[in-house]
């Protein structure tokens, strides 16, 4: 699936046994014949580039089989959470982790050899192919896989039962709806706290997971799991950290302007006793459980005289477009760019809506079960605008997966993980009023005077997300490095939330709580810097594809719908998979070799100027 991929490994018995054999041979034989034999064996054991190629190809065959088995087990667990499916998913995950560890250990034999680029790249990618590496010890690696599967289940089964477990309970979907629509601060605060109460039970297990995974990372040659995650970007881990900070500095002024405008408008709405220009914004008032997407409070802060003139949620409802119909709109967009239709099995095997009779992980994801054509999405789609966008996001993963399906298994991935997250979002940026009119969902395209409204709506989703996208892994990197210990998990979390997002918890929190665990990607161990990168990259891709299509107007009104030239350019990059360093993939679409936030700044430039005008006389920053 494209959220997690797999966890860890273990340099297993096989490798240990071989090492022991060698020791016995050299130690116990004293005759000249024995010495000569040992010498020949040592010579023949110096590996050649050909050996390395044979090794990686064998490793790929072995991993592919295990990956497919783990995907199947994981699909069943996430669409039917029971103790049995959890156990089966954990077992399949452990098999992947064990094999990866063993192969990563063996790959070190080829270090220092002059190798063809593709072979060297694959050797490096073996150890990076799991997100959570397991230690060599089988008992520990089993424990780690069980912890991971159980954290995922706790999250999937999470609900809030205000009147106790016998009373009526609210699922995350119910709570999402409440957070999006309620304007009662007390009710919002209770819902926020109710959901966050699922996480304290994860705390101990999370701390143990950190210990075990770090052990695995060290055994593979990384300082800790955070350093391992940062090593996956074709640059030194520290350089990657600096790159994120550089991009954040580029976009921070835009975020700060939006934050200030939202804060004083919320103060107007709720009063200074609830929100004040002197303090960070309370996290429960932003229309989203994690304050990561603020689009739901648009009506509270909508600019006067800039009504975008339509509301996609209303259109979907009025036209009775069902979940599967919404997915078809997404598919047709990709087809308009020249991509082939999704396979029949996609429609038969995907989970589009929340089943009524069982626990599932509703958090949206895209899957490529057999790494060739068994593409699926898993979502609990509702008739609303954000789900329309998320469908495009997920299909972006699926079309990427299919574009690279003829690459060797270790290259069947995106150029870097930010690319995978950015493709569907790039397409969703082309869901403009002009596009909606073209496909018959909208009668009149709103005039240019509506631009501030349109941009504001989008910025509340995309610009508001930026610091959140950054801080999740800032927190995890410090947790994995040991800078933040379990005694400080929550404190460190809220320090980062304040520092980057300028938000505060609705009520006092303590180390009894485990607020990071109330976010899916922490419970499920999915690295998160990818979403920050995607939030920047999607505008870079959008700008390049719009140029390719010959478009000349403002970026936020450009749609590449129906443009085969743009589609071909995009496909060129997708088909490369992870076979080349990501700057080359970026260049294939944009002609640029650096990730660069000037495209997102250009996109929102009219809004930024407008916000700065409105914010005059108000406090900016926190």
Beta bridge partners of 322: none
Question: Please, what is the minimum distance in Å from the beta carbon of residue 80 to Zn ion?
Answer: 22
Quote the least distance from Cβ 41 to Zn ion, whole Å: 49
Pick the closer one to ligand X8Z by CB: 426 or 615: 426
Q: Answer with the entry of Zn ion, ligand X8Z, none that 539 interacts with (C-beta below 5 to 8 A by kind).
A: none
**Do the Cβ atoms of 419 and 537 come closer than 8 Å?**
yes
Q: Which residue has 């070799």 as its token pair?
A: 593
Of 196, 259, 284, 397, the catalytic one is 397
- Annotation marks residue 531 as catalytic: yes
CA–CA separation, 374 vs 376, rounded Å?
Answer: 7
Report the alpha-carbon distance of residue 519 to residue 495 in Å, rounded. Answer: 17
From Zn ion, ligand X8Z, none, interface partner of 379 (C-beta below 5 to 8 A by class) = none
Which CB sits closer to ligand X8Z, 392 or 569?
392
**Three-state secondary structure of 524-559:** CCCCCHHHHHHHHHHHHHHHHHHHHCCCCCCHHHCC
CB-based closest residue to ligand X8Z: 364
175 counts as binding ligand X8Z under rule CB under 6 A: no
Q: Which of 421, 478, 548, 578 is catalytic?
A: 421
Q: Is 116 exposed, middle or buried (0-12, 13-18, 19+ CB in 10 A)?
A: exposed
Q: Which of 196, 393, 420, 556 is catalytic?
A: 393
Q: Which residues pair with 366 in a beta bridge?
A: 377
Quick one: 215 or 393, whose CB is closer to ligand X8Z?
393
Picked from Zn ion, ligand X8Z, none, the partner binding residue 176 (CB below 5 to 8 A depending on kind) is none
Q: Does 364 qualify as catalytic in the annotation?
A: yes
Region of 112 on the Ramachandran plot (φ > 0 left; ψ -120 to 50 alpha; else beta): left
Measured from the CB atom, the residue of 371 and 551 that comes closer to Zn ion is: 371
* Catalytic site includes residue 521: yes
Which of the following is catalytic: 59, 364, 492, 588? 364
Q: Does 531 bind ligand X8Z (CB under 6 A)?
A: yes
Cα-to-chain-centroid distance, residue 276: 33
Stretch 339-378: interaction string toward ligand X8Z, x if CB under 6 A = -------------------------xx-------------
Contact between 90 and ligand X8Z per CB under 6 A: no
| Of the candidate residues 77, 85, 146, 390, the single one contacting ligand X8Z (CB under 6 A) | 390
Q: How far is CA 300 from CA 161, 198, 265, in A?
A: 29, 30, 8
Contact status, residue 163 vs residue 127, Cβ threshold 8 Å: no
Least distance to ligand X8Z from the beta carbon of 564, Å?
27
Binders in 409-428 for Zn ion, by CB under 5 A: 421
Q: Is 236 exposed, middle or buried (0-12, 13-18, 19+ CB in 10 A)?
A: exposed
Catalytic residue flag (residue 393):
yes
Q: Which does 390 bind (CB under 5 to 8 A by kind): Zn ion, ligand X8Z, none?
A: ligand X8Z
Catalytic annotation, pick one of 394, 478, 548, 578? 394
Q: Which of 206, 195, 193 is nearest to 486 (CA)?
A: 206
Asked if residue 289 binds ligand X8Z (CB under 6 A), the reply is no
For residues 342 and 340, give the distance between their C-alpha atoms in angstroms, rounded to a whole number.
6
Q: Is 326 in the site for ligand X8Z (CB under 6 A)?
A: no
Q: Smallest distance from the beta carbon of 365 to Zn ion, in angstroms?
A: 7
Q: Using an 8 Å Cβ cutoff, are 158 and 531 in contact?
A: no
388 binds ligand X8Z per the rule CB under 6 A: no
CA 389 to CA 393: how far, in whole Å? 6
Q: Which of 136, 230, 393, 402 binds ligand X8Z (CB under 6 A)?
A: 393
Shortest Å distance, C-beta 547 to ligand X8Z: 26
If one asks whether residue 147 binds ligand X8Z (CB under 6 A), the answer comes out as no
User: CB under 5 to 8 A by kind: which of ligand X8Z, Zn ion, none does 525 bind?
Assistant: none
Residue 131 or 421 with smaller CB distance to Zn ion? 421
Q: How far is Cα 415 from Cα 235, in angstroms, rounded to an integer?
A: 13
- Nearest distance from C-beta of residue 378 to Zn ion, angstroms: 12
8 A C-beta contact, residue 401 and residue 5: no
The rounded distance, in Å, linking the Cα atoms of 171 and 361 is 11
**Residue 411 has what DSSP assignment?**
G
- For ligand X8Z, which is the closer residue by CB, 232 or 390? 390
Q: Which does 365 bind (CB under 5 to 8 A by kind): Zn ion, ligand X8Z, none?
A: ligand X8Z
What residues contact 318, with CB distance under 8 A and at least 6 apart?
Answer: none
- 522 in Cβ contact with 1 (< 8 Å): no
Nearer to Zn ion, 78 or 140 (CB): 78
206 in contact with ligand X8Z (CB under 6 A)? no
Structure tokens at 47: 């590996």
595 binds, among Zn ion, ligand X8Z, none (CB under 5 to 8 A by kind): none
* Residue 391: contacted member of Zn ion, ligand X8Z, none (CB under 5 to 8 Å, by partner type): none
Encoded tokens for 320: 């009775």
Could you write out the DSSP letters of every residue in 249-267? Answer: HHHHHHHHHHHHHHHHHHH
The DSSP-derived string for 141-164 is: HHHHHHHHHHHHHHHHH-EE-TT-
Q: Are 538 and 373 in contact (CB under 8 A)?
A: no
- Distance from C-alpha of 414 to C-alpha of 182, rounded to nearest angstrom: 39
- Give whichever of 205 and 376 is closer to Zn ion, judged by the CB atom: 376
**Annotation marks residue 363 as catalytic:** yes
* Shortest Cβ 538–Zn ion spacing (Å): 12
Binding site for Zn ion (CB under 5 A): 421
Q: Which residues are catalytic?
A: 363-364, 393-394, 397, 421, 521, 531
Binding site for ligand X8Z (CB under 6 A): 3, 364-365, 390, 393, 531
């Amino acid at each position: 699936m494209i959220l997690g991929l797999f966890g860890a490994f273990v340099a297993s018995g096989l490798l240990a046994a071989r090492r022991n054999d060698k020791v016995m041979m050299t130690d116990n034989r004293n005759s000249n014949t024995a010495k000569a034999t040992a010498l020949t064996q040592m010579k023949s054991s110096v590996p050649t580039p050909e050996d390395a190629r044979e090794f990686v190809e064998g490793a790929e065959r072995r991993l592919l089989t295990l990956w497919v088995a783990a995907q199947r087990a994981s699909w069943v667990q996430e669409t039917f959470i029971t103790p049995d499916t959890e156990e089966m998913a954990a077992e399949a995950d452990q098999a992947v982790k064990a094999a990866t560890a063993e192969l990563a250990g063996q790959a070190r034999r080829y270090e220092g050899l002059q190798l063809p680029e593709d072979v060297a790249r694959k050797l490096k990618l073996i150890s990076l192919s799991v997100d959570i590496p397991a230690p060599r010890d089988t008992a520990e690696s089993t424990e780690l896989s069980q912890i991971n599967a159980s954290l995922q289940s706790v999250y999937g089964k999470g609900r809030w039962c205000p009147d106790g477990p016998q009373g009526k309970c609210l699922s995350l979907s119910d709570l999402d709806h409440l957070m999006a629509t309620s304007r009662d601060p007390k009710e919002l605060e209770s819902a926020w706290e109710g959901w966050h109460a699922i996480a304290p039970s994860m705390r101990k297990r999370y701390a143990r997971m950190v210990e075990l995974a770090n052990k695995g990372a060290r055994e593979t040659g990384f300082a800790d799991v955070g350093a391992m995650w940062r090593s996956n970007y074709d640059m030194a881990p520290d350089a990657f950290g600096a790159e994120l900070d550089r991009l954040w500095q580029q976009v921070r002024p835009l975020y700060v302007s939006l934050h200030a405008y939202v804060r004083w408008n919320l103060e107007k709405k709720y009063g200074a006793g609830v929100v004040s220009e002197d303090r960070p914004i309370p996290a429960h008032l932003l229309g989203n459980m994690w304050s990561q997407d603020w689009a739901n409070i648009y009506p509270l802060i909508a600019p006067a005289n800039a009504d975008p003139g339509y509301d996609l949620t209303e259109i979907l409802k009025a036209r009775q477009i069902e979940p599967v119909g919404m997915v078809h709109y997404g598919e047709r967009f990709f087809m308009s760019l020249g991509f082939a239709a999704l396979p029949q099995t996609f429609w038969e095997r995907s989970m589009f809506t929340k089943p009524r009779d069982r626990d599932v992980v509703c958090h949206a994801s895209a899957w490529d079960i057999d790494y060739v054509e068994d593409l699926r999405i898993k979502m609990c789609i509702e008739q609303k605008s954000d789900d329309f966008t998320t469908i495009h996001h997920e299909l972006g993963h699926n079309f990427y997966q299919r574009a690279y399906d003829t690459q060797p298994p270790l290259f069947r991935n995106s150029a870097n993980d930010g690319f995978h997250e950015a493709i569907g979002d790039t397409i969703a940026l082309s869901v403009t009023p002009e596009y909606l009119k073209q496909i018959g969902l909208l009668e009149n395209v709103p005039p240019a005077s509506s631009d501030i409204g349109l941009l504001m709506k989008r910025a509340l989703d995309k610009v508001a997300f930026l610091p959140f996208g950054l801080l999740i892994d800032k927190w995890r990197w410090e947790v994995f490095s040991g800078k933040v210990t379990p005694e400080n998990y929550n404190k460190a979390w809220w320090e980062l939330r304040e520092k980057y997002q300028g938000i505060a918890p609705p009520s006092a929190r303590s180390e009894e709580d485990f607020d990071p665990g109330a976010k899916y990607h922490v419970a499920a161990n999915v690295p998160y810097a990818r979403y920050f990168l995607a939030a920047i990259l999607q505008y870079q891709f959008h700008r390049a594809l719009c140029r390719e299509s010959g478009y000349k107007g403002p970026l936020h009104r450009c749609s590449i719908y129906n443009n085969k030239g743009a589609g071909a350019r995009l496909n060129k990059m997708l088909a490369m998979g992870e076979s080349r360093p990501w700057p080359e993939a970026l260049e294939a679409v944009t002609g640029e070799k650096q990730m660069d936030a000037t495209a997102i700044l250009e996109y929102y430039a009219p809004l930024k100027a407008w916000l700065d005008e409105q914010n005059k006389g108000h406090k900016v920053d926190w």
